[in-house]
Structure 1
Amino acid sequence: MVSPLHSNGRAQLREDKAVTSIGELAPKPDLRPELLLKLSGKLQTTLELSQLLEIFFREIQQAVLVDGLSYNHAGNNILQSQGKTSPHSVSYRLQTQQDYMGDLTFHRSTRFREHELANLEGLLTTLVYPMRNALRYHEALAAAFRDPLTGAGNRVALDKTLSRELELAKRHGQQLSVLMLDLDYFKQVNDQHGHSTGDKVLKDAADCICSCIRQTDMCFRYGGEEFLVMLSSADQSGALRIAERIRMSIAALIFNAPKGELQISASIGCATLRGDDDRDSLVQRADKALYQAKHGGRNRVISDVDMAFSELEQAAE
């Protein structure tokens, strides 16, 4: 079903893809059958959302002139667009009885007429099921790169993402920092309170980390109770501020465990990209800083710069 969200369109699509007018006098779609057949065939050639929307935007111009379209699926954190935005718009919700498939907005510099809205709604019937298939593919792909317990990215996602972001940061002269985070004495949580409590601690800690970082940043489960946070466009001072915010937020968590209330803490190592860094050297410096934070008393943040100063002081002595 395609339901108008905010428009003067007065049509909706049923599961059988038939357009039924709410008002008897509402215009009917005036679309050539060969156009719908061609569009339907092309939409079935891809499972990539961006390509699907590009094909749809390009092909519907034969029936209705549209300056741009935007697609939003809040549940999957997807926001994509084609063309340009304009003063006038009309929005539709894409859904079947079982699946919600997001909201689609069409933009144009002039108002959409009634017969054009009817044609748009007729064209949308060809998009519903290809969009459902593309979303299922997107969700399956996302699950393959997500840690099933915490919802953070897994090591496969980390390897792909960090290499790409490091290359982009170097190419465009941008800052990039990483945080290596380890939950202190986590083995004792499992030993004393059970693995179900340990799983709860890991998941809530991951949620806590994600609530402290920006939308452009990413959190990955590095292994066990260790997480890596990638901070885009963050220099050392900015990375340290975020790290300290994460440390304090985790320390404030309170868990109701079988043996009473439980609190945890985290040690964090921070490293900022240098000109000669590759992925491994950047992560190794953050890991080394984490090692210093844990052996310096835990529940603290240490940067690779702090670590370098400490090593120079020791050498001077």
Structure 2
Amino acid sequence: MVSPLHSNGRAQLREEKAVTSIGDLALKPDLRPELLLKLSGKLQTTLELSQLLEIFFEEIQQAVLVDGLTFAHSANNLLISQGKNSPHSVSYRLQTQQDYMGDLTFHRSTRFREHELANLEGLLTTLVYPMRNALRYYEALAAAFRDPLTGAGNRVALDKTLSREVELAKRHGQQLSVLMIDLDHFKQVNDEFGHSMGDKVLKDAADCMTACIRQTDMCFRYGGEEFLVMLSSADQAGALRIAERIRMSISDMTFENAKGKLQVTTSIGCATLRGIDNTDSLVQRADTALYEAKHGGRNRVISDADTAFTESERV
């Protein structure tokens, strides 16, 4: 079904894939059958969302000229654009009886006429099921790179993402920092409050970390009660500010079950990319800083610069 959010025309895709107008006076699409057949065939050639929308954007120009389109799916944190934004727009919700597949907005410098809206809605009916399949494929891929308990990225996702970001940061001369985060005395949480409480602490702590970072940053579960946060375009000072925000936010959280109330703290090690770094050396320096934070009494943030100073003192 294609439901308009900001237009007067409406069209509906029934299970038999027939388009019916809602209302006797609604305009019917005026589209060549061979255009719909060609468009439907091309949309079946990919499961990649960006490519699917690119094909749709290019092919519909034969029936309705549009300057650009924007696809949004808030649950999957997706925002994909083709072409350019313009002053006038019309938005539609894509859905079947079982699935919501996001909102699609068309942009144009001039207003859409009624017969153009009818044609857009007819064209959209060819997109509904390919979009559903592409979203399911996207969600399956995302699940393969996500820790099932916390929703943070897993080690496979970390290895792929961090390697790419280190390479890009070096190539373009950009800053990159990582935080190694450990929940203090986590074994005691499991021993004294039970594993279900331990699972809740891990999940809520991961949610808290994600809420403290920017959209360009990423949180990964490194293993057990350890997490790694990758901070794009963040120098040491910026990384330390975010680390302190995470530390304070987690320490403010309160958990409770039949065995009583619980508060947890974190120790955080911070490292910023250097010219000679690779992914292993960057993570190792953050891990060393984390060790110093735990060795120094826990519930604190230590940077790799601090550990270098401490090591020189020891020498």
Q: What TM-score results when the alignment is normalised by the length of structure 2? A: 0.98
Distance 1:20 1:188 in 2: 62
Per-residue CA distance 1:85-115 (angstroms, 9 max, x = gap): 1111111000000000000011111111111
In the aligned structure 2, how far is the partner of 1:25 from the partner of 1:194? 64
Aligned residue number for residue 206 of structure 1: 206
Tell whether the 8 Å contact from 2:267 to 2:290 is kept in structure 1 after alignment.
yes
Shift of 1:310: 1.2
Aligned residue type for 1:5: L
CA offset digits 1:8-55 (Å, max 9, x no partner): 324333333322223323221111111111110110000000000000
State the AA in 1 paired with 2:283: V
Q: Which runs of 5+ in 2 are unaligned?
A: none
Cα drift, residue 237 of structure 1: 0.6
Name 1:23's counterpart in structure 2.
23
- In the other structure, the counterpart of 1:189 is 189
Q: State how 1:54-93 maps to structure 2 within 5 Å.
A: 54-93=54-93
Q: Which residue of 2 aligns with 1:282?
A: 282
Instruction: Tell me, yes or no, if the aligned pair for 1:181 and 1:227 is still in contact at 8 Å.
Output: yes
Partners of 1:29 and 1:259 in 2: how far apart?
64
Q: Counterpart of 2:177 in 1: which secondary structure?
A: strand
What CA distance in whole angstroms lies between the structure 1 residues aligned with 2:48 and 2:198? Answer: 37
Q: Distance in 2 between matches of 1:84 and 1:217?
A: 26
- Encode CA deviations 1:263-291: one digit per residue, 9 max, x unaligned: 11110000000011100000000000001
Determine the structure 2 residue equivalent to 1:98: 98
Q: Give the secondary structure class of the aligned counterpart of 2:41.
A: helix
d(CA) in 1 for partners of 2:192, 2:13: 57
Which runs of structure 2 are paired with 1:278-317 in the superposition (5 Å)? 278-315=278-315
Tell me the equivalent position of 1:8.
Answer: 8
Equivalent-residue separation in structure 2 for 1:42 and 1:173 (angstroms): 40
1:131: which partner in 2? Answer: 131
Q: Distance in 2 between matches of 1:209 and 1:109?
A: 42
In 2, distance between residues paired with 1:293 and 1:10? 60
The separation in 1 between residues aligned to 2:67 and 2:237, in whole angstroms, is 43
Q: Distance in 2 between matches of 1:95 and 1:143?
A: 22
State the match for 1:225 in structure 2. Answer: 225
SS in 2 for 1:41: helix
Alignment partners' CA distance in 2, 1:152 and 1:53: 28
| CA RMSD across the alignment | 1.0
CA distance in 2, matches of 1:7, 1:118: 10
One-letter amino acid of the counterpart of residue 181, structure 2 = L
Residue pairs, 1:162-177, within 5 angstroms: 162-177=162-177
C-alpha displacement of 1:168: 1.1
List gaps (5 residues or longer) in structure 1: none
TM-score normalised by L of structure 1: 0.97
State the match for 2:109 in structure 1.
109
Paired position in structure 1 for 2:121:
121
Verify the 8 A CA contact 2:72 2:80 in the aligned structure 1.
Answer: yes
Tell me the secondary structure at the aligned position of residue 221 of structure 1: strand
Q: What is the alpha-carbon distance in structure 2 between the residues aligned to residue 271 and residue 177 of structure 1?
A: 6
Q: CA deviation at 1:149?
A: 0.3
| Counterpart-to-counterpart distance in 2, 1:29 and 1:165 | 47
Q: Output the CA distance in 2 between the equivalents of 1:276 and 1:10.
A: 59
